Structure 1
Amino acid sequence: MIVTYTQDDGTVERMSTDDLSALEAAAIEEAMDDVPWRAIEARLQAQDPTALRAIVWAFRRREQPELKFADVDVPGWRRRLKARITRDEIGDALTNIMAEALSKSEDSMIDAVTPHLRKLADDPADVDRCLDELGKGHLTRREKESAG
């Protein structure tokens, strides 16, 4: 997952949860009252301010080891902090959904989730690329738009 932080001057800082060490992830879990990492990821997808702030805190601690979680604040967090999923995460989600859809011989499950994945995606075009890779290219946005 990618967390972006838009600075006061408009520059965007990108922080990938893939770059966190196991100790940093554990520190985030502990700072958030022992919330398991899987729940933190779900909260990031939901744009939860505490989870977003925790990622910023973990990255800031690399330069400021004594920084306390309670001391990290992001005024205007709704417009300045965003969590987005990566292409690998899109591929994993679509693979899981596709396995379930194939067992039921239906594409409607994939069709229903793709708008949500596009909204969460760091690069929305990754959703179509992953659908193509899974042999579900007929469900991509560009095909639907050209057919309409």
Structure 2
Amino acid sequence: MIISYRQDDGSVERVSTEDLSAIEAAAIEEAMGDVPWRAVEDRLRGQDPTAMRAVLWAHRRRTEPGLAFSAFDVPGWRRRLTARIERAEIEDVLDNLMADALANSEDSAIDAMLPHLRKLAHDQADVDAALDALGKGHLVAARAG
């Protein structure tokens, strides 16, 4: 997941959960009340402000080691924070859908998931690229057509 934070000057700070160390991920789990990482990821997909703040906090602690989670706030979080999925996560979803589609000889499950993936994607072109990599590029053309 990529967490984006729009600062007062309009610049955007982007941090990725892929860059977290195991210790940082554990610190996030603990800061959120011993929430398992899987639940943290689910909450990020749901745009949960505490989860997004926790990831941003973990990255900030790299340069501000004494920064306490309880003191780290993001004013105006609704307009400043977003969480979006990355290419690897898109590919994971499509791989799972592909296995199901092959079992049923249909593309409808993949096609139904595309609007959701496009909304969550940090870069929407990653969705098309992942479809092409799966050999399902015809679904991109069907969408555009």
Task: Report the TM-score when normalising by structure 2.
Answer: 0.96
Following TM superposition, by how much is the alpha carbon of 1:23 offset from its aligned partner in structure 2, in angstroms? 0.2
Q: Which residue of 2 aligns with 1:125?
A: 125
CA distance in 2, matches of 1:33, 1:144: 42
Equivalenced residue count is 145
Question: Any residues of structure 2 matched to 1:15-54 within 5 Å, and which?
Answer: 15-54=15-54
Following TM superposition, by how much is the alpha carbon of 1:9 offset from its aligned partner in structure 2, in angstroms? 0.3
Following TM superposition, by how much is the alpha carbon of 1:114 offset from its aligned partner in structure 2, in angstroms? 0.7
Q: Which residue of 2 aligns with 1:13?
A: 13
Alpha-carbon RMSD: 1.0
Q: Secondary structure at the match of 2:74?
A: coil
CA distance in 2, matches of 1:133, 1:61: 37
1:93 maps onto 2:102 in alignment: no
CA distance in 2, matches of 1:117, 1:51: 20
1:27-52 superposed Cα distances (whole Å, 9 cap, x missing partner): 00011111111110110011000000
1:115-134 superposed Cα distances (whole Å, 9 cap, x missing partner): 11101111001101111110
Q: Counterpart amino acid of 1:75?
A: P
1:144 maps onto 2:112 in alignment: no
Following TM superposition, by how much is the alpha carbon of 1:56 offset from its aligned partner in structure 2, in angstroms? 1.1
Following TM superposition, by how much is the alpha carbon of 1:87 offset from its aligned partner in structure 2, in angstroms? 0.8
CA distance in 1, matches of 2:142, 2:114: 13
Q: Which residue of 1 aligns with 2:83?
A: 83
Q: Secondary structure at the match of 2:8?
A: coil
Identity %: 68
CA distance in 2, matches of 1:59, 1:109: 36
- Contiguous gaps of at least 5 residues in structure 1: none
1:76-102 superposed Cα distances (whole Å, 9 cap, x missing partner): 111100111111111111001111121
Q: Secondary structure at the match of 1:82?
A: strand
Following TM superposition, by how much is the alpha carbon of 1:4 offset from its aligned partner in structure 2, in angstroms? 0.5
Q: Secondary structure at the match of 2:101?
A: helix
Q: Secondary structure at the match of 1:13?
A: strand
